[in-house]
Amino acid sequence: MLKMLDDNVLIQPLDEEEKSSGIMLPDSAKKKPTKGEVKAVGPGGRNAQGERMALTVKVGDKVFYRQWAGTEVECQNDKLVVMKESDILAIVEGK
């Protein structure tokens, strides 16, 4: 697994349920996932005094994030996304 630095978060995108309409779209035309599971977090960014600011998200959280956020990476045959915590919009609570 990758070790995140500063306020970076490693997310495994979750495929949203696809509705069967009978139309086949090429991968380039499909909507990018916007929901994922947090796999790793960095120690947090630093404030003006140089102190670490802890992240809000933690490993295992299910989150929604901006559609075009982050950088796609491949690690151990898994496609993951690295992004700043500020690109995460919400944590899914409950189920």
- Residues in Cβ contact with 81 at an 8 Å cutoff, skipping those fewer than 6 apart: 10, 11, 12, 13, 36, 65, 69, 70, 71, 72, 73
Alpha-carbon 81 to chain mean position: 5
pTM of the full structure: 0.81
Q: H or E segment at 81?
A: strand 78-84
Looking at residue 17, its pLDDT comes to 55
Looking at residue 28, its pLDDT comes to 61
Q: State the CATH class of domain 8-14+32-91.
A: mainly beta
The residue ranges of the chain whose pLDDT is under 50 are none
CB atoms within 10 A of CB 12: 15
Looking at residue 94, its pLDDT comes to 80
The Cα 95–Cα 83 span in angstroms is 24
